[in-house]
């Protein structure tokens, strides 16, 4: 009830939610009380959570931030949410996001703006903007987001939260609306690292319904939070600490390095030489996969269907024209182009080769270090409207997060202080594949 009251009071100023579910939340809370009384509770029993609207929730509208799915009520639930529900968690509602998770500011949502609780003139980040703003505004105890090219880490950084993108395959993608299937991963956004470890432990693990989920045991992530990082070898990639990095971001990184040194970590300068190519590579692969994944929205079986159409082709064309927003259309066009015959080798195949080189950069770096420390975003949260007319500039701001998705490894964003004007700044800890315990320990 306290959480519902909190949502009621701050939601008009923040706008984190697309759909709220207060009645079912109270019923789930009552069931959780009974479970706790019976002595068979999980640590998450009764804990009020909210989900990015990309997670299918049986019987509850799931829009993915798109007009295309404004009326879509899924007949089944995402595995990640099912696992939390089995723990007895309470669902407060579905959170705003960029349309089909395409964006870095939450401004491409068909359901209005979400504001950064630290400064409501600014974006919360994206695409899991509502997931981060809800945590920062204390509208939920923990949330889930997805990260294809930074969408958990960047909004966490802009809103002062902890956000973790697990290794590809660590968490099931079943029932998560697909954007770019070889990059998408599910992960928690929370107030602190302990909550993050608890949430990751609850959702991680093999799922026979996702053929890319990996069958390796899930460790007790909270046990990794020992408080001891003596001797931890931290890599600083020279390509990430460039001249022209925002002064406040650089200062936050300097403070973090100093703190880690005091706690007994050792620093090593490393090189990730193909960093310069990461954004271009990502925007070819992600758009190519998106153009294929989004072909299913044809107005036939579910989602938006145009009412003006005459005949099948016209119905599909009009449904897609009306259902998708500008950013989604831009990505479908870019991706279709990159996959078309005559251009496939020059763009898509080339991008896959560069992706392999980027993976190799990380493999080599991790021969020498345990974690890599970088900024999350080149600047603190920008103003709403500042970048909407400049998609390329927005794409370039993903430079520090995207390489991790291409390499398939894990990384987290942890609060690292504030800018001179009081905006949160996050640091990024990148780990080895399935090295979530190490980055959680360092983040803690």
Q: Which residues bind ligand GLN (CB under 6 A)?
A: 101-104, 127, 147-151, 179, 286, 398
Round to whole Å and give the CA distance between 337 and 398: 22
Return d(Cα 341, Cα 336) in angstroms, integer: 10
Q: What are phi and psi of 254, to 5 degrees?
A: -60, -40
DSSP-derived pairing of the beta strands 411-418 and 162-165: antiparallel
Whose Cβ is closer to ligand GLN: residue 127's or residue 409's?
127
Cα–Cα dist 382/122, whole Å:
6
Instruction: Exactly one of 77, 108, 151, 419 is catalytic; name it.
Output: 151
Q: Answer whether 66's CB lies under 8 Å from 329's CB.
A: no
127 flagged as catalytic: yes
Q: Does a cis peptide bond (omega within 30 degrees of 0) precede residue 127?
A: yes
Q: How far is the CB of 159 from ligand GLN (least distance, A)?
A: 15
- Shortest reach from residue 102's CB to ligand GLN, in Å: 5
Closer residue to ligand GLN in complex, CB, 101/425: 101
Q: Is 213 a catalytic residue?
A: no
Strands 424-431 and 185-190: unpaired
Contact 164, 439 (CB under 8 A): yes
- The residue (of 7 and 279) whose beta carbon lies closer to ligand GLN is 279
- Buried b / exposed e over 250-284, threshold 16 CB at 10 Å, is bbbbeebbeebeeeebeeeebebebbebbbbbbbb
Under 8 Å between Cβ of 185 and 165: yes
In angstroms, what is the minimal distance from the CB of 147 to ligand GLN?
5
Minimum distance of ligand GLN from residue 387's CB (angstroms): 11
- Spatial separation of the C-alpha atoms in residues 252 and 392, rounded to whole Å: 26
Minimum CB separation of residue 151 from ligand GLN in Å reads 3
What's the closest the beta carbon of residue 148 comes to ligand GLN, in angstroms? 4
The active-site residue, picked from 127, 133, 156, 157, is 127
Backbone phi and psi for residue 187, each to the nearest 5 degrees, phi listed first = -160, 165
- Examine the residue annotation and report whether 94 is marked as an active-site residue of this protein: no
Q: How far apart are CA 95 and CA 93, in angstroms?
A: 7
User: From CA 64, how far away is CA 72, in angstroms rounded?
Assistant: 10
Catalytic residue chosen out of the listed positions 16, 52, 109, 156: 52
Give the residue numbers marked as catalytic: 52, 127, 151
């Amino acid at each position: 009830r306290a959480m519902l009251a909190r949502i009621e009071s701050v939601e008009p100023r923040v706008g984190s939610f697309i759909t709220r579910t207060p009645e079912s939340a109270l019923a789930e809370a009552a069931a959780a009380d009974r479970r706790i009384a019976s002595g068979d509770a999980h640590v998450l029993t009764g804990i009020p959570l909210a989900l990015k609207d990309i997670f299918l929730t049986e019987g509850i509208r799931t829009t993915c931030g798109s007009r295309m799915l404004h009326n879509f009520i899924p007949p089944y639930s995402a595995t990640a949410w099912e696992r939390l529900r089995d723990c007895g968690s309470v669902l407060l509602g579905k959170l705003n996001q960029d349309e089909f998770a395409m964006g870095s500011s939450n401004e491409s949502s068909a359901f209005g703006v979400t504001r950064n609780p630290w400064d409501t003139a600014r974006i919360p980040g994206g695409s899991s903007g509502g997931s981060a703003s809800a945590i920062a505004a204390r509208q939920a105890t923990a949330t889930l987001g997805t990260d294809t090219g930074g969408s958990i880490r960047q909004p966490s950084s802009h809103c002062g939260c902890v956000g973790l993108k697990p290794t590809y395959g660590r968490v099931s993608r079943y029932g998560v609306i697909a954007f770019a299937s070889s990059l998408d991963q599910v992960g928690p956004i929370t107030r602190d690292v302990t909550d993050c470890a608890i949430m990751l432990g609850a959702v991680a693990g093999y799922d026979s319904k996702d053929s890319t989920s990996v069958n390796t045991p899930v460790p007790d992530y909270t046990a990794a939070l020992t408080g001891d990082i003596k001797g931890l070898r931290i890599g600083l990639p020279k390509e990430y600490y460039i001249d022209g990095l925002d002064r406040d971001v650089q200062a936050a990184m300097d403070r973090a390095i100093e703190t880690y040194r005091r706690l007994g970590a050792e620093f090593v300068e490393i090189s990730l030489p193909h960093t310069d190519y990461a954004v271009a590579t990502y925007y070819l692969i992600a758009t190519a996969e998106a153009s294929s994944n989004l072909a299913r929205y044809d107005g036939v079986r579910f989602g938006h269907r145009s009412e003006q159409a005459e005949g099948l082709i016209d119905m599909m064309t009009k449904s897609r024209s009306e259902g998708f927003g500008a950013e989604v259309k831009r990505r479908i066009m870019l991706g279709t182009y990159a996959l078309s015959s005559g251009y496939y080798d020059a763009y898509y195949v080339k991008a896959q080769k560069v992706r392999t080189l980027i993976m190799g950069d990380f493999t080599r770096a991790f021969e020498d270090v345990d974690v890599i420390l970088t900024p999350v975003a080149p600047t603190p949260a920008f103003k709403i409207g500042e970048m909407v007319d400049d998609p390329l500039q927005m794409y370039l701001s993903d430079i520090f997060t995207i390489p991790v998705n291409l390499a398939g490894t894990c990384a987290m964003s942890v609060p690292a202080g504030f800018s001179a004007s009081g905006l949160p700044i996050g640091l990024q800890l990148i780990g080895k594949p399935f090295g979530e315990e190490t980055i959680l320990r360092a983040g803690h």
